Amino acid sequence: VVGEGLAKANLNRGSLKKIWGEFLALLRLLKAWASGSYRAIPWQSIVWVVAALLYFLNPIDAIPDILPGGFIDDIAVLTLVINRIRSDLDKFLSWEKSHESGGEPPQER
C-alpha cells in the first residue's frame, strides 16, 4: 500500500502540494508501524491512515480521479485524517527525528 500510494502521489504531486509533507509522513508512519519499528500509536490511528490511503488509491471514489478536480475528495479525506491523528503524527515525527539521531524506539501504547 505504501509503495502504491507513493507512486500515485508522485504522479499527482501538484494536486497534493498543500499536504505533500504530511502525506509523506503518513506513508513513513505506516511503513514504520508495519515493520514494527514504531508502535507507539493507537490502533485506531493506524486504521484511519490505512483507510485514507486505500481511499486515495481507489480511482473510483466520490469524484473519480480521471475527472478534472478528481483529487479534491482524496485531498479532503487525507486532510481529515491528518487533522484527526495530528497529535499521533506529531509524536511520530518527533520519534523519527530522535531515531535519526540514535534515540530508542518508544514502547507500544
Note the pLDDT tens digit of each residue in 16-52. 778 889 999 999 999 999 999 999 999 999 999 999 9
Distance, CA of 53 to CA of 23 (rounded, Å): 9
| Average confidence score pLDDT of the chain | 84
State the amino acid at position 50 in one-letter form.
Answer: V
Distance, CA of 97 to CA of 94 (rounded, Å): 5
State the amino acid at position 79 in one-letter form.
Answer: T
Distance, CA of 102 to CA of 81 (rounded, Å): 29
Tens digit of each residue's pLDDT (9 = 90 or more) over 43-71:
999 999 999 999 888 877 776 656 666 67
Burial of 75 (0-12, 13-18, 19+ CB in 10 A): middle
C-alpha cell at 109: 501504547
Query: pTM of this prediction?
Result: 0.77
- CA–CA distances in Å: residue 29 to residues 32, 61, 69: 5, 24, 27
